[in-house]
Amino acid sequence: MGHATIEWIYIGVVIAVLVYVGADAWNVERLLDVSNAPAEAEVVKVTGQQWLWTFEHEDGKKEISELHLVKGKPYRFEVTSIDVIHAFNMPDFATLIDAVPGRINTVWLVPDQSGEYLIQCREYCGFSHYQMRAKLIVEEPTGGSNVTKAAAEIPSKGVTAVSS
């Protein structure tokens, strides 16, 4: 086997790896796109302003600096801002999207773990940016809907991103 063959093998492997990385990332991004959000997802309007978050549920209920969700239920967040650019971030659920004045950005999520989590601004937005935090409270479902059945299948504790 000459040098040229080895080089062509090297080039082939590199191309294959690059194609795999690009295709895999593109596929996950497509999976998580808002167009794949479940039709039954509840819309939550999220508004950022210096320096707090407000939330409005479909039934009109409003919350300030605190958001209550139900485990296992899909939500679609319509995120905007009324002053400067913020970024709506729930790090424990790997969710991040910009809040831009005059624009509604959408992201969807199914909280699969109950408990209290952090909501924070991830785009520097002024003096108290570091204090622009809210509390995400994911509650165990109580009703008897299909959503509840789906949530019941999700383990409540000890779920991590890696398992065998």
Among 34, 84, 137, 154, binds another protein (CB under 8 A): 154
DSSP string of 76-95, one letter each residue: EEEEEESSS-EEEEEGGGTE
**Closer residue to another protein (CB): 20 or 124:** 20
CB of 51 to another protein, least distance (A): 26
Residues 6 or more apart whose CB falls under 8 angstroms from that of 65 comprise: 52, 53, 54, 133, 134, 135
Only one of the segments 49-57, 59-67, 88-96, 97-105 lies at the binding site for another protein (rule: CB under 8 A); that segment is 88-96
CB of 102 to another protein, least distance (A): 26
Only one of the segments 26-34, 49-57, 78-86, 130-138 lies at the binding site for another protein (rule: CB under 8 A); that segment is 26-34
79 lies in the binding site for another protein (CB under 8 A): no
C-alpha closest to that of 52 among 164, 128, 124: 128
C-alpha closest to that of 131 among 146, 142, 120: 120
**Assigned token pair, 11:** 């080039």
Among positions 98-137, residues that touch another protein (CB under 8 A) are 109-110, 112
**Closer residue to another protein (CB): 79 or 125:** 79
Among 39, 142, 153, 158, binds another protein (CB under 8 A): 153
34 lies in the binding site for another protein (CB under 8 A): no
Residues near another protein (CB under 8 A): 4-5, 8-9, 11-13, 15-17, 19-21, 24-25, 28, 31-32, 36, 38, 72, 74, 92-95, 109-110, 112, 150, 153-154, 160-163
